[in-house]
Structure 1
């Protein structure tokens, strides 16, 4: 893990100032390709589900229209 320098000023008891550098870890950059791929897959599933629902709805309306015609309901 990379280190990042952070400068702090510490006051000493004899009114002198000391500059001290602290080494703090820098988190690694995330690889976003996995997250983007997961989001794409989720979106594909949502779109497929939506299309399936539209197909089901369309078939139900067709069936309802057919029943109305058979029962002679205007």
Structure 2
């Protein structure tokens, strides 16, 4: 398990002061995601490559159905 005590968490600038969003931290070879409403709760982890693929897809106009084809 990764020690997250030194993680620097960031929220999207699009979320402004909303508390209903996720926070992201990059540490070592991974990207970590947590619910901003529950900072002591569970954390999802992704490889840097997986996170980049997700971000590329989220920023494109590719539909989910096209990805599963």
TM-score, normalized by length of structure 2?
0.22
Greater CA radius of gyration, 1 or 2? 1
Give the number of the structure whose residues are more often helix, by fraction: 1
**How high is the TM-score relative to the length of structure 1?**
0.21
User: RCO higher in 1 or 2 (8 Å CA, sep ≥ 6)?
Assistant: 1
